[in-house]
Amino acid sequence: MKETKYFTLHLFAGLVLFFILGFHFLYTHIGTILYKVEDNISIERSQGRDSQTIFLVFFIFLLGFGLYHALFGLKNILHELTSSNGLKNFITGVIVIVGIFLFVFGSYFSVKAYKNQQIKTSKAEVINVK
C-alpha cells in the first residue's frame, strides 16, 4: 500500500500544480498578453514579488510539489527499464537525494532573495524617513 500513498500524493501534487501553475501563468504571462499588464515580467516586479512573504510561500510550494510530481514520474519511467529490485531501490535512493538537494537549493535561494529584498526595502524606508 506504500505505492498507493505515493501515487495518491503524486495525483494531489498534480492537482495542486494545476492551480499554482495556473495562477503563475495567469499572473505573470497570460495577464501580460491578455490584459496588457506591461511590466509583470520585468526584473523590478519580479524582485518586488520576491520581497513578499506570500510569494515566498508560493514559490516553495511550487518547488516542492513540482519536484515531487516530476521526480515521482521520472522514477516510474526509470523503474520500467529494469526488473532488478536492487537497481530499482538504487534509482529511488538517487532520486530522493536529488529531490531533497534541489528542494533545499531552491528554497535556500528563495529565502535568500526574500531576505535581500526585505533588507533593500527597509534601507529604502530608512532613506525615505531621513
Partner 1 sequence: MSNEINVKFHIRRYNPKKDKSPYFQVFDIPVSKGMVILDALHYIRENYDSSLAFRYSCRMGVCGSCGMLINGSPTLACNTQILDVSDKEITIGPLPNFQILKDLVPDLMPLFEKHRSISPFIIRDEKELDDPEGEYYQTPEQLEEYLQFTYCIKCGCCMAACPTLATDKNYLGPQPLSQAHRYNKDTRDSGRKKRNEITGSRDGAFKCHYAGECSRVCPKGVDPAKAVQILKRQLVFEFLHLIKKQEPCQKLHGPGKGEKLDIPEAPEKTV
Interaction between residue 78 and partner 1 (CB under 8 A): no
C-alpha cell at 68: 515531487
Nearest distance from C-beta of residue 11 to partner 1, angstroms: 7
Task: Give the 3-state secondary structure of residue 98.
Answer: helix
- Cα–Cα distance for residue pair 59/109, rounded to 1 Å: 10
Measuring CA to CA, which residue among 74, 61, 75 is closest to residue 13?
Answer: 61
Asked whether position 86 contacts partner 1 by CB under 8 A, the answer is no
Q: Give yes or no for residue 76 binding partner 1 (CB under 8 A).
A: yes
What lies within 8 Å, CB to CB, of 11 at 6+ separation is none
Asked if residue 7 binds partner 1 (CB under 8 A), the reply is yes
CA terminus-to-terminus distance, the chain: 63
* Distance from C-alpha of 102 to C-alpha of 100, rounded to nearest angstrom: 6
Q: How far apart are CA 38 and CA 105, in angstroms?
A: 31
- Binding partner 1 (rule: CB under 8 A), the pick from 26, 29, 82, 94 is 82
- Considering the rule CB under 8 A, would residue 93 count as an interface residue with partner 1? no
Contact with partner 1 (CB under 8 A): which of 38, 53, 85, 129? 85
Number of chain residues interacting with partner 1 (CB under 8 A): 16
Site string for partner 1, 22-41 (x = CB under 8 A): --------------------
**Positions that interact with partner 1 (CB under 8 A):** 1-5, 7-8, 11, 76, 79-83, 85, 88
